[in-house]
Amino acid sequence: MEEVIHLNNRLTRRPHLLDLRADFIDQEKAKRNGTCRTIAICNLKGGVGKTVTAINLSARLATRGLRTLLIDLDPQGQSGLGLGLDVDRLEHSVYDVLVNGRYPACEVIVPLRSNLDVLPSNIDLSSAELELARFQHRERRLKKAIEGLRNNYEYIVIDCPPSIGILTLNALVASQIVVIPVTPSQLSIQGLSGVLKVAEALKDSLLLKTSIFCLITLFDRRQKEARIQKEKLELTEGHRLLKTVVRKNTKLNTATRKGIPVFEYDSNCSGTRDYTALTEEVLSIGCGEDRLARKEILPLDSLELRVTQM
């Protein structure tokens, strides 16, 4: 990580930080800006581009003029690291919100860029699976914790850990949209069915109004097996498969290591084009004319990017 934001000094100036975010508590202004959409990015398998998707989707939504919160529910803290946070030096984290309840979410949130905030995580969250077991309605703690934030954001994106445990269940219960990144490989597709079963079961048992989508990631059209598995996904999951396909691109991982979104690293690479296309597609999900009329979303032309078809 070449550029890391150190938080010790920053967080000790909490009152000044909150003063800078006066609009955060301007409820009347927030209510005029429409309804918040919460998106969980999850898969029980690692290495499918889950965190890269959470980072770049969140950052791209923010560049469109949409106030966005990224919640990191992975104890590794990769989403925070991928946006330049030194998560090992956090004074507080999402653990303090979900488990010990010492701080409300608004006091733990860290502003990163214009329209982009993060509710960060670190290794403290690793014990949450066991500690949350003692609570009633433990699967609803995240939903309750962020309820008061919904008037302050247009989008909340949740990066889940690579497992189906209580943290992921919290994310699924709190979300209206679930995006499951899946690579065009046999093992990844087999793991996809497990996530789908859990998500569908939660919808039925808790009467959730959740839309579930799959996103093909790390696609390399030069590989025959990748093309075969992509076609298989289109046949079996076509009704929930997003049109955007994220191509394999080394610059995605390089940008994450540097602690910046890919479009800040290379505005013309395929990773930038693909996540820009994904952002456009996400904006079209459940976005009625009434909501768009109330919120001025920056046009794609303002980003000086041209989204190309695969």
Residue labelled with tokens 């995605």: 252
What CA–CA distance (Å, rounded) separates 109 from 107? 6
Residue 9 pLDDT: 36
Arithmetic mean of pLDDT over the chain: 82
Confidence of residue 191 (pLDDT cuts 50, 70, 90): confident
224 by Cβ neighbours in 10 Å (0-12 / 13-18 / 19+) ranks as: exposed
- Ramachandran category for residue 207: left, alpha or beta (phi over 0 → left; psi -120 to 50 → alpha): left
Total Cβ atoms within 10 A of residue 167: 26
Give residue-wise pLDDT tens across range 232-242: 999 988 889 99
Helices and strands in the chain, H and E counts: 16, 8
Query: Has residue 30 got a pLDDT over 90?
Result: no
Does domain 8-285 correspond to CATH entry 3.40.50.1220? Answer: no
The one-letter amino acid at 41? I
What CA–CA distance (Å, rounded) separates 160 from 163? 8
More confident residue, 88 or 283: 283
Question: What pTM value is reported for the model?
Answer: 0.82
Give residue-wise pLDDT tens across range 86-142: 988 888 999 999 998 889 999 999 999 999 999 999 999 999 989 998 888 899 999
Average pLDDT over residues 38-67: 94
Considering only the C-alpha atoms of the chain, give the largest distance between any 2 of them, rounded to a whole number of Å. 56
Residue 206 pLDDT: 75
Residue 95 pLDDT: 94
**Domains of the chain by residue range:** 8-285
Residue labelled with tokens 């100036």: 13
Alpha-carbon distances, residue 187 vs 47, 190, 199, 237 (angstroms): 11, 5, 19, 16
Confidence of residue 298 (pLDDT cuts 50, 70, 90): low
More confident residue, 15 or 185: 185
Average pLDDT over residues 167-172: 93
Query: Has residue 245 got a pLDDT over 60?
Result: yes
Show the tokens assigned to 232: 């298989």
The shares of helix, strand and coil residues in the chain, as percent rounded to the nearest 5, are 50, 15, 35
Q: Is 56 helix (H, G, I), strand (E, B) or coil?
A: helix
Query: Has residue 48 got a pLDDT over 70?
Result: yes
Bridge partner list, 241: 214
Give residue-wise pLDDT tens across range 194-232: 788 888 887 777 777 889 999 999 999 999 999 999 999
